[in-house]
Amino acid sequence: MSNKSGFLHEPVGRLLAKNCGPAMVSMLVMALYQIVDGMMVGRRLGPDALAAVNILYPVIAVLVGLAVMIGVGGNARIAFLLGSGKEREARGVLSLVVVLGFGLGLLGTIGSLLFAGPLTAALGAGDGVQGLTRLYLVTIAPFFTAYIVSFILDQAVRNDGQAGFATLIMVGGALLNIGLDYVFLFVFDMGIAGAALASALGQSFSATVFMAYFIAKAVKRSAGLRISRPTGGFRVISAIAVNGSSELLGAIALGIVTLMFNRALMDLIGPVGVAGFALVQYVLMLAAVFFNALGAGSQPVLSQNHGAGLAHRVTEAAGIVLVAGVMIGGVLAVGAHLGAARMALMFVPDHPEAIAVASDAIRIITWSIPLAAVGMIGSAFFTSIEKAGMSLAIAAGRGLVFPVIALAVLPAILGATGIWLALVVTEAAGAAVTVVLLRRWKSARPVAAPVTPAVLSAEHPELVRAGDRAGASLDAEFAVDVGGVPLHGVQ
């Protein structure tokens, strides 16, 4: 059975387990290596270095946003084409997305190197941490292309039916990063530049292997996805940008909100508050791993079944991943609440003030985690079925509108506690919007989607096989009734 037909034939629950499981392992390892990276930086270089990396996040967010926009938007389109049986077009879109990734990475590198000083100053880095922030940026900037291409091709390999291989490579890159962190920080004493270089080389490893995978398939002219001549031009680029716009907005909005949080914390608490927020973000990142994995792992299932017109399988998959996300979020929230002090202690054991700030913050923000599951998975779902407007509404709300309002109101009333509560209020509002949009989508979708040859092949392969054996052809005006559902206009 081909990869494409597997996505259309196999039970939805089994497909999700087969695709979300490896994605979860891959992203969990990626998150753990970032957490270990933070622990090594905090233990070796102290809270100022953690604050420096966190202050730089808005710049990184723009890079991540562009990668996510073309990666998620492009791969959703690729999966849709595969589900529709248009393999050649899918290859052309893959190649177009890769070219875009290289171009955007190069622009990001040039811009960051030319304007490193003004950028770090605009981000609010004080005299104590601005030098560290600038050094981290100029060290990592030459590798921006590797970051973008690695993200794009990781999902493309999953669309090609090789989720296990994608996970293996991402885990390998993460382990390389951890090993280089130790060598650069503790053996060679390279400081924050060593941490940046370790992360960059880990991403470069993954990007290189993924490129080699698709190039090798092109040389062998293998079936499935492979590098070919880019096709589609501006029309396809526009469609990709629109469909991935919610992810771009979400990433950029997160950078803007992080900047707002950093400035508010600098005003109310000082640098130790920013360091504490960095620790909080590691906790949130660990939770987000599971929700992103459910979104990324379900994307090929959702997109290909959507492309084939199998609406009932799309609905079933959406329900499974949403319930799973909320359940996982609840378990993580309880665990983080009970272990807040221990988690903070792992990063900065010799800085009790930072531990106290982070512990108090974690105990409050943990209750945003199950709510975040609804918004994150809901946004990913709408992107997967090419409902860009609904995905954008969720991303804009929970990524920018709700946190800006919450940060403007709550800290003025509650002080530093209001900053942490702003996260909970944001995710609650985002979850409410997601539920409303999901109900609207479910009520608006047709009872029976138009039946294409892909649908007939997926749901009733025995009919197609029988037709092939008999040498029959179906007339465009012919209508049959299969399982009580009238199928009109099958060609």
Give the pLDDT score at 193.
Answer: 92
In a domain, 474, yes or no: no
Residues of the chain with pLDDT under 50: 1-4, 447-456, 458-491
pLDDT in tens, 339-387: 888 877 877 777 787 778 888 888 888 889 999 999 999 988 888 887 8
In a domain, 41, yes or no: yes
Give the pLDDT score at 449.
Answer: 45
User: How big is the chain, counted in residues?
Assistant: 491
Domain that holds residue 118: 12-444
Collect all residues with Cβ–Cβ distance below 8 Å to 333 and sequence separation of at least 6.
287, 366, 367, 369, 370
d(CA 463, CA 479): 14
Query: Please, what sign has the CA dihedral across residues 10, 16, 21, 23?
Result: positive
Helix or strand (DSSP H, E) at 334: helix 311-338
Q: Which two tokens stand for residue 138?
A: 């100029």
Report CA 12 to chain centroid distance, whole Å. 22
Residue 34 carries which side chain, given as an amino acid letter? Q
Distances in Å between the Cα of 70 and the Cα atoms of 104, 238, 332 are 10, 10, 30
CA-wise closest residue to 90 among 219, 236, 207: 236
Give the pLDDT score at 387.
Answer: 82
How many C-beta neighbours within 10 Å does residue 190 have? 17
Report CA 61 to chain centroid distance, whole Å. 12
Give the pLDDT score at 451.
Answer: 45
**18 conformational bin, left if phi > 0, alpha if psi -120 to 50, beta if neither:** alpha
In a domain, 457, yes or no: no
In a domain, 348, yes or no: yes
Give the pLDDT score at 365.
Answer: 87
Give the pLDDT score at 383.
Answer: 81
pLDDT in tens, 391-421: 888 988 888 899 999 999 999 898 888 988 9
Q: Which two tokens stand for residue 227?
A: 């590098």
In a domain, 481, yes or no: no
In a domain, 4, yes or no: no
In a domain, 49, yes or no: yes
In a domain, 232, yes or no: yes
Give the pLDDT score at 5.
Answer: 53
Q: Is the pTM of this model over 0.85?
A: no
Task: Count how many domains the chain has.
Answer: 1
**Within 339-367, where are the H helices?**
340-347, 352-365
Q: Quick check: 353 and 411 in contact, CB under 8 A?
A: no
